[in-house]
């Protein structure tokens, strides 16, 4: 992949690995580095095209990529979210492979790793809002009836609840103009600018608050901004991102699949850097992402079906629960004493993470590392101890646990899961602002 650099590229500085250290030693030393990255530039290239809860700073995968791989190696992220790992892999001259099941994550990741032509994107973006504006000015009544015909009843109900009629017309006019763009990469680029005006911390142009935290609530005193104006602004911002790419010889690809059974071949990856969803369904991606996906033609019913496949979802009927190792079992049992339903949700999460870790083990080359970044959650005031339990589970599928590093989140920047429990202890409260990097190693046999 080759990108033009139009501005000096603000490549972040990371420490160099110790010279002459063996692989395992380098992994252990990498886990002793400082992962806070507060004050670092995390918004270069396409990293800031769209908000994404629990996305990691680019410097995190970058450090492991630099320390543990060579140019041309495969770096895998089986739950790639906004695509941070695979973009960093390709910028470092590696081959990034991402996997995700979320339709918005797939659009976002694909666009972030694509070569988007600045001039074409700028021209097409201008055409979109100019045509949309013209259409709105002259055919507002037609747009209203087009909206009524376009959406099924359930989806229309959702839209009516969360978007004012004037906003619906603006968004529909924009979405229809974007759909006319024949070049898929440019179309995806415009879709992201569109989606980014809906999914924001404040809920953007919808009537929702807290959308980026994936716990939207409707507010009636909100006066949403003009979608047309917001789209223009966002487009400009994302176009600026296109000018901040370094030249790169790497490549990346993204697969729509399930992390538990990816369909990729054995031993494909020299490194895995990934972060699964939080336990306790603390971040419900689809709950927020449907706010923009409906405008790309997804019916609410289809999105509800996709949502069931997310790791750690709340539905527990029909799940085949796997037996858990001692510590995970104790945590689940403790929660079951207070709330059996919640304990089952956690058991589902650890079951699906067992299968995902097993799959990661299969996909990783022997003698290589997997880094799994997780936050912890609470259920009924009890810490799910996600990092300890996943470290334990990873060992049951064959990994060596090298270490678990802590990183302190930037409280001003990080989009944390919304707090649902105000009675938790201050120790657990503190842990909510930490993330854990579980360092795993696949021993050659
Ligand atoms: C914490 S986010 C990853 C964030 C990513 N590290 C980044 O920097 O943007 C977790 C991701 O796991 C994905 N996910 C959930 N269930 C999945 C599954 N069964 N298979 C693949 N991906 C899944 C979600 O869609 C979400 O994008």
Distance 226 CA to ligand 1 centre (A): 31
Can you tell me the distance from the alpha carbon of 181 to that of 129, in angstroms, rounded to the nearest whole number?
12
Residue 359 near ligand 1, beta carbon < 6 Å = no
Burial class (CB in 10 A: 0-12, 13-18, 19+), 178: buried
Give the mutation target among 105, 256, 352, 438 for probing the ligand 1 site: most ligand atoms within 8 A of CB: 105
We report the CATH number of the domain holding residue 103 as 3.40.50.150
Residue 101 near ligand 1, beta carbon < 6 Å = yes
pLDDT tens digits, residue range 294-340?
999 999 999 999 999 999 998 999 999 999 999 999 999 999 999 99
For residue 102, the ligand 1 atom closest to its alpha carbon is 25
Residue 84 near ligand 1, beta carbon < 6 Å = yes
Report the alpha-carbon angle 397-402-406, nearest 5.
110
Which one is predicted more confidently, 222 or 429? Answer: 222
Residue 11 scores a pLDDT above 70: no
Highest-pLDDT range among 13-17, 191-195, 244-248: 191-195
Quote the pLDDT of residue 84. 96
Can you tell me the distance from the alpha carbon of 105 to that of 112, in angstroms, rounded to the nearest whole number?
10
The answer to whether the beta carbons of residues 54 and 60 sit under 8 Å apart is no
What values do phi and psi take at 255, rounded to 5? Answer: -120, 135
For residue 283, the ligand 1 atom closest to its alpha carbon is 1
Residue 99 near ligand 1, beta carbon < 6 Å = yes
For residue 81, the ligand 1 atom closest to its alpha carbon is 27
Q: Show the domain range for 99.
A: 1-445
Kindly list the distances between the CA atom of residue 160 and the CA atoms of 94, 199, 302, in Å, as whole numbers in the listed order.
46, 17, 18
Give pTM, 2 decimals: 0.92
pLDDT band at 209; cut points 50, 70, 90: confident
Q: To which H or E segment does residue 401 belong?
A: strand 400-408
Distance 97 CA to ligand 1 centre (A): 13
Can you tell me the distance from the alpha carbon of 276 to that of 373, in angstroms, rounded to the nearest whole number?
7
pLDDT tens digits, residue range 179-208?
999 999 999 999 999 999 999 877 689 998
Can you tell me the distance from the alpha carbon of 351 to that of 51, in angstroms, rounded to the nearest whole number?
29
Kindly list the distances between the CA atom of residue 119 and the CA atoms of 5, 171, 432, in Å, as whole numbers in the listed order.
14, 24, 43
pLDDT band at 255; cut points 50, 70, 90: very high
- Nearest Cα neighbor of 76 from 349, 356, 388 is 356
pLDDT tens digits, residue range 390-434?
999 999 999 999 999 999 987 665 455 545 444 556 666 666 788
Which of the residue ranges 61-65, 177-181, 284-288, 370-374 would you say has the lowest mean pLDDT?
284-288
Can you tell me the distance from the alpha carbon of 422 to that of 72, in angstroms, rounded to the nearest whole number?
48
Distance 100 CA to ligand 1 centre (A): 6
CA-nearest residue for atom 7, ligand 1, is 55
Residue 102 near ligand 1, beta carbon < 6 Å = yes
pLDDT band at 281; cut points 50, 70, 90: confident
Residue 52 near ligand 1, beta carbon < 6 Å = yes
Residue 136 scores a pLDDT above 60: yes
Residue 214 near ligand 1, beta carbon < 6 Å = no
Quote the pLDDT of residue 8. 41
Distance 82 CA to ligand 1 centre (A): 8
Residue 274 scores a pLDDT above 50: yes
Mean pLDDT, to the nearest integer, of 269-273?
98
Distance 102 CA to ligand 1 centre (A): 7
Burial class (CB in 10 A: 0-12, 13-18, 19+), 24: middle
pLDDT band at 3; cut points 50, 70, 90: very low
Residue 4 scores a pLDDT above 70: no
Count the alpha carbons within 13 Å of 113 in the hemisphere toward its beta carbon: 31
Residue 35 near ligand 1, beta carbon < 6 Å = no
The answer to whether the beta carbons of residues 79 and 105 sit under 8 Å apart is no
- Nearest Cα neighbor of 370 from 383, 384, 356, 380 is 356
Can you tell me the distance from the alpha carbon of 427 to that of 439, in angstroms, rounded to the nearest whole number?
24
Count the alpha carbons within 13 Å of 63 in the hemisphere toward its beta carbon: 23
How many distinct structural domains can be found in the chain? Answer: 1
The two beta strands, 364-375 and 95-100, are unpaired
- Nearest Cα neighbor of 438 from 19, 14, 8, 60 is 60
What values do phi and psi take at 383, rounded to 5? Answer: -70, 130
Rounded to the nearest integer, the mean pLDDT of the chain is 90
Residue 7 scores a pLDDT above 70: no
pLDDT band at 173; cut points 50, 70, 90: very high
Distance 258 CA to ligand 1 centre (A): 10
CA-nearest residue for atom 27, ligand 1, is 81
Can you tell me the distance from the alpha carbon of 220 to that of 113, in angstroms, rounded to the nearest whole number?
38
């Amino acid at each position: 992949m080759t990108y033009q650099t139009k501005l000096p590229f603000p490549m972040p500085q990371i420490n160099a690995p110790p010279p002459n250290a063996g692989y395992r030693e380098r992994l252990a030393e990498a886990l002793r580095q400082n992962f806070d990255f507060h004050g670092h530039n995390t918004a270069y290239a396409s990293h800031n095209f769209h908000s994404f809860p629990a996305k990691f700073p680019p410097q995190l995968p970058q450090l492991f990529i630099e320390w543990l791989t060579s140019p041309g190696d495969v770096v895998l992220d089986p739950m790639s979210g906004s695509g941070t790992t695979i973009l960093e892999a390709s910028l470092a001259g590696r081959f990034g492979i991402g996997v995700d099941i979320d339709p918005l994550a797939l659009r976002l990741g694909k666009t972030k790793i694509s070569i988007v032509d600045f001039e074409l994107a700028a021209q097409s973006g201008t055409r979109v809002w100019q045509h949309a504006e013209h259409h709105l000015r002259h055919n507002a009544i037609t747009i209203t009836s087009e909206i009524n015909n376009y959406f099924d009843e359930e989806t229309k109900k959702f839209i009516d609840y969360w978007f004012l009629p004037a906003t619906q017309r603006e968004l529909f006019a924009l979405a229809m103009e974007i759909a006319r763009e024949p070049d898929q990469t440019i179309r995806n680029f415009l879709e992201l600018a569109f989606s980014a005006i809906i999914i924001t911390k404040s809920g953007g142009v919808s009537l929702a608050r807290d959308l980026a935290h994936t716990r939207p609530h409707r507010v009636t005193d909100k006066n949403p901004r003009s979608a047309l104006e917001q789209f223009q602004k966002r487009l400009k911002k994302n176009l600026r991102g296109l000018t901040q790419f370094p030249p790169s010889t790497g490549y990346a690809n993204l697969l729509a699949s399930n992390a538990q059974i990816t369909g990729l071949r054995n031993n494909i990856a020299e490194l895995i850097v990934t972060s699964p969803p939080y336990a306790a369904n603390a971040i419900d991606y689809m709950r927020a992402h449907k706010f923009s996906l409906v405008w790309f033609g997804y019916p609410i019913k289809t999105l509800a079906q996709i949502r069931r496949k997310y790791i750690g979802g709340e539905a527990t009927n029909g799940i085949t629960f796997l037996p858990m190792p001692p510590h995970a079992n104790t945590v689940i049992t403790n929660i079951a004493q207070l709330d059996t339903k919640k304990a089952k949700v956690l058991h589902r999460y650890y079951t699906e993470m067992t299968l995902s870790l097993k799959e990661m083990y299969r996909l990783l080359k022997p003698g290589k590392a997997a880094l799994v970044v997780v936050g912890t959650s609470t259920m009924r005031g009890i810490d799910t101890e996600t990092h300890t339990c996943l470290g334990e589970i990873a060992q049951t599928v064959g990994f060596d646990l090298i270490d678990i590093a802590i990183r302190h989140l930037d409280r001003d920047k990080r989009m944390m899961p919304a707090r649902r429990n105000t009675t938790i202890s201050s120790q657990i409260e503190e842990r909510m602002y930490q993330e854990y990097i579980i360092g795993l190693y696949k021993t050659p046999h």
